Amino acid sequence: MVHQRDQYDGSASTLLVISVVVLLFTPGVFTQPATLSSQWDGVFTIEQAARGRVAYAEHCSSCHGPDLRGVPQLVRYPGQSASTPALIGDTFARNWEGLSLGDLHERIRTSMPQQNPGSIGSQTVSDILAFMLDSSGYPPGASELSSRRADLGNVLLIKKNR
């Protein structure tokens, strides 16, 4: 029986070494997971909340009320609540508990105002969120609330402060 010596050209292991080196030096591949925060960590500024107050009055107050507590709905469908949703308070906090500001931002951005969904720009939605947080008594901070969904996804809504 004739044995033929296997020829090893090294291409498979060379490819493996190159792949590992590329992965190690590619930014973001082996980074720490993003740090999560909550609305209790001062994620908006007072100035941003002031801009949000103006935008809220223009785009939201006719349905959610000047005090963000909702207004009575004159025409309702079966099973629909007696008033529009409050944007502050226990019910609001309970409804959004554990979700992110990114989720809330996207909901507002794509579905509000009801008569013209998607008409509010992303930065304005962030300003309105800052006003909502400020009106709910959450502490302001030194940095404005981002308008990027990826950033907002790292900010959880938590009813009780840790």
Domain boundaries, the chain: 38-72+79-156
Q: For residue 161, what pLDDT is reported?
A: 75
Strongest mean pLDDT among 30-44, 126-140, 148-162: 126-140
Q: Residue 60: CA atoms inside 13 Å, Cβ hemisphere, count? A: 27
The overall longest dimension of the chain from CA atoms, in Å, is 94
pLDDT in tens, 5-39: 555 455 655 544 455 444 445 554 444 456 899 99
Q: Which helix (H) or strand (E) holds 122?
A: helix 122-135
Mean pLDDT of 99-126: 96
Q: For residue 79, what pLDDT is reported?
A: 84
DSSP H helical ranges for 35-78: 46-59, 61-64
Q: Indicate the burial class of 6 (C-beta count within 10 angstroms; 0-12, 13-18, 19 or more).
A: exposed
Contacts of 136 by beta carbon, 8 Å cutoff, 6+ apart: 39, 88, 89, 92, 93
Q: 3-state DSSP call for residue 79?
A: coil
Whole-number Å distance between alpha carbons of 113 and 90: 23
Mean pLDDT of 147-156: 96
CATH of the domain spanning 38-72+79-156: 1.10.760.10
Q: Pick 90 or 10 by higher pLDDT.
A: 90
Q: How confident is the model at residue 77 (pLDDT cuts 50, 70, 90)?
A: confident
Q: Pick 7 or 63 by higher pLDDT.
A: 63
